[in-house]
Chains A and B, each alone.
Chain A
Amino acid sequence: MFRSILAAMALMAALPAAAQETGGLRMRNQTSVLDQIESNRGCPLSSTSVTVGINKATSNGSSARQLGATQSGGSTGCQPLVSTRVVAGVNLALGRGSSADQTLQSNGPRGVLATTAYTRGANIGYGAMSTANQRLINQIGR
Chain B
Amino acid sequence: MADELSRVFAALADPTRRDMVARLATGDATVGQLAAPYAVSMQAVSKHLKVLEAAGLISRSRDAQRRPVHLEAEVLAQATEWLERYRREAEARFQRLDAVLAEMNQESMNEEKPS
On whether the two chains bind one another, the answer is no
A residues neighboring B (CB under 8 Å): none
